[in-house]
Amino acid sequence: EDKVVQSPLSLVVHEGDTVTLNCSYEVTNFRSLLWYKQEKKAPTFLFMLTSSGIEKKSGRLSSILDKKELFSILNITATQTGDSAVYLCAVSRTSGSRLTFGEGTQLTVNP
């Protein structure tokens, strides 16, 4: 059974701080790892990673994958209150395309 574990489950920081969110996985025939941001409702797509060591970047957010150690990190620099959300990590296999999600990290950024 595929498994995705995120840590920490909850994180409270002040505006301007840098945060690192972790995601480790066990999946048969790994294809990709995806990060989503979930505010009130729908998960919003952030990144998809398929290759080790290649950083994906979008503004203050960046992510990298290590396929040897089976984990990914999501970094957010200079956090803002609008970054407050649950950040979800999910993996997919080469066979089929279902996503298996982790529990998420609840990030709270205080002013």
Region near another protein per CB under 8 A, out of 7-15, 28-36, 59-67, 71-79: 28-36
Q: Does residue number 15 form part of the binding site for another protein (CB under 8 A)?
A: no
Residue from 22, 75, 84, 100 that binds another protein (CB under 8 A)?
100
Closest alpha carbon to 89 in 77, 71, 68: 71
Closest alpha carbon to 61 in 31, 18, 104, 92: 18
Residue from 63, 72, 79, 92 that binds another protein (CB under 8 A)?
92
To another protein, the closest distance from the beta carbon of 65 in angstroms equals 14
Region near another protein per CB under 8 A, out of 21-29, 44-52, 58-66, 72-80: 44-52
Collect contacts of 5-8 with beta carbons under 8 A, ≥24 apart. 5/102, 5/103, 6/87, 6/88, 6/89, 6/102, 6/103, 6/104, 6/105, 7/105, 8/105
- Residues β-bridged to residue 21: 74
Q: Does residue number 49 form part of the binding site for another protein (CB under 8 A)?
A: no
The residues of the shown chain that bind another protein, judged by CB under 8 A, are 31-32, 34, 36, 41-45, 48, 50, 88, 90, 92, 96-104
